[in-house]
Structure 1
Amino acid sequence: MTELWISNSYAKINLGLNVLEKLENGYHTIETGFVFIEWSDRFEVKPGRMHLEMSDPKIPVDESNLIVKAIRLLQQEAGLKDEYNIKVEKNIPAGAGLGGGSSNAATTLRMMNKVANLGLSQEDLLRLGKQLGADVPFFIKGVPGFATGLGDEIEPLDLQPDAWMVTVYPNMESSTAEAYQFCEPNPEPDFSLKNVLLDEAPEEWRYLLMNDLEKAVFPRHHLVGNLKDQFYEFGAEYASMSGSGSSVFGIFEQDFVAINAYESFHKLGFPANLTRPKFKPDQGIYLKEG
């Protein structure tokens, strides 16, 4: 029987996002809260000719794919020699501000380390992950956190809301580069983002917690802003765009209000996800007889 390894690769959302400064190299310093949602891709890995198969044919499987980049990095720096067949059932939308590509890269590093017995420590994985993307280390750690710098300096903090979350994808991608190009950095935000997340209830966030990229994205993609308004009409305590968009999420105190919003967005034709209070991602890597 062939060994078959499976694992899930979970998405994130941003609770607030302050763009503080534009650096000379074109990057921006930010601060944001990272938490997990139950939207996930499913990985299946088995020995065989090195081959990547994605369930979404629109996603390239060439050297531009972060999964392929993670494999190449392990071959160059961690002595990965064996070949594997990697099959990914894609559920997390691309270009959605949910970190799907970074999550996939992190899952690839973690799975290959275990499946191929590479013997890498978590510190090794974090170092490699940072080379693939600023938020890849967050997905390797698998715990909520407060991110600063380029989004790559992450302090683990229990920010996961004790509330229901609904996340909606508006069937269109948002360009991260465009969002940052048109945003105006503010080095001195009105409120401490970390303090708001730690000390204030979600019903207060509406007045205190901002995503600075909304001002750049909403005028160019009206649907994204309309979805945020729709969340409040459905009874959300707080609603926001995630990251640079295009996904929008809402936080709900009561389960039946959240479920009604989730089902309503589905009926309108939007992919959506419902996340339970205090959700924790399962980072297990499981062996099945394939």
Structure 2
Amino acid sequence: MATIIDGKALAALVVEEVAKDVASFEKQYNIKPGLAVVLVGEDPASQVYVRNKVLRANESGLNSIERKLPADVDQATLNKVVDELNQDPAVHGILVQLPLPEHLDEEYIINAIAPEKDVDGFHPVNVGRLNSGQETLTPCTPLGCLIMLQRELGDLTGKNAVIIGRSNIVGKPMAALLLQQSCTVTIVHSRTRDIEEIVKQADIVVAAVGRSEMVKSHWIKPGAAVIDVGINAIEVDGKRKLVGDVDFADVEPVAGAITPVPGGVGPMTIACLMKNTLTAATQQLRK
């Protein structure tokens, strides 16, 4: 049976570490690192995410700033809010909760956030820095996955890693992070041939494709570490259930270590947002 990687417990440790460092930061600079979260509209999932982020920010000792805008807000108003936060010296990290309503230009907003305050790590400047191995703000979910793998496996040098999914949010930055750890990295996706055979070669599998329980036990090399980034809502016996991209019950007996859904990667993503906010504040104050 695989070791279950407890994302909640590990995230609590990360938040605890961040809180200690925030206390030192505040003592040194006499200000709290500030995280601004912008929420547009009433999307229930986004509201839950934002609530959890604000809760963790408070636990970490960060100054949490919420900007809530109506779903019908126009582009110019949203742009103005982001620009004001860019100019505010008390704000060190800015997160605009995605997805945005369809009439708003998501790409424009990502690019409008000052790179040094882009705690999501999505700005093209930060993407470029990550892929060229420079110090930067790294997307929170891949960073959380990397921390989990390092805590579970130690040195990742030479390990064969396969990432299922090529998104800008998880797949591509995950590949860059694992390359920096000297893994041999393959990205597979919807057009990949013989996907199961490729995945079966992996010491590390990161599933981030958004298809419920797609990865089965016969895809997995015995003893592999399996990180499940997916979060999909399915109906079981008339009730809503959250599952990952990995068929947990099927894969657990084969894997060496595995993350559950929920309670795996999700809590680590939010913990790493706190970590990134402190990193951003530190970098800005050192300039």
Whether these two folds match at TM > 0.5 is: no
Looking at secondary structure, tell me which structure has more helix per residue: 2
Of structures 1 and 2, the one scoring higher in RCO (CA 8 A, sep 6+) is: 1
User: Whose strand proportion is higher, 1 or 2?
Assistant: 1
Q: What is the TM-score when the length of structure 1 is the normalising length?
A: 0.29
Q: What's the TM-score, normalizing by structure 2?
A: 0.29
